Structure 1
């Protein structure tokens, strides 16, 4: 049976990805940082496993594929790097700690997880990594400044990893369009912005 680790898989887009993969017959490992209740409920619903890690910690991020494989009793077949931090700031207001956190979780951790996953693949087996990027990379605006820069970096890292880990690991990026309102938007504001950035 194919198996997959979905980071940030307890809620929102990550949960939708986990559900779809489970419906397709995949054994899913749901990663979360502090969403234990949601992760456990989803795991019970789809027959998944769960694990906890703070992806701002590089060692914790790099250990994730091995921890998932140990839980499964076999190496992973794929990884979906979905987890991210998404907090509002601008070029004028971001703090150094915002920058470091966004780079660590949104850029460095997917790279470390992909590398660790590739190292664990048995000889002769192929695997896949999918990185969740963001439509903001192509629809630049100045809000969510440090987040957007981290996703711009991830888009480039995805291209580099695709070359570096081939042919045994296929690496792709997916940039969903506007999917959900952020915590500051009304439904009406979200609909207006989504209509203006329909890609």
Structure 2
């Protein structure tokens, strides 16, 4: 096999030779012509002539052989494993697949892809639950000081003034003790919500 190095100008001009020219190269070689003569007569670089002749000697053909291009980095077993992974968890990213399979399949992938079959977009395994508007709310009463956080109490329903007073009775002094504040070193501050007055 002949290895060649092309400079940038040669790479730009390089193109696939037709089947007809390849056959002419072989015919001239069979008739005893040397590489340089064939190169001049057909206007094909000498390394290309040498490569085509070597290919014909080894494979018995001048046609393009199957398997040209980049070869797969996965075998059939790995491919089946990846398909099972994506079928089970369609939201899995290429990075997660790469990490799990310990292969560099998607080394330059910068986008995240969702893998799912047609008409399966809204199945539970393919969706992420979210709440946009009106999803409900939970209210808590809590307090804090420089030394940390005090008690926290969940508020059920709509809070009225009586509910607020009950929360203060249950939690303010307990929070003061929890925070280690002395009886005269703290001030309870609250906003101007009507129930606070």
TM-score (norm 2): 0.18
Greater strand proportion: 1
Higher relative contact order, structure no. (Cα contacts within 8 Å, ≥ 6 residues apart): 1
Greater helix proportion: 1
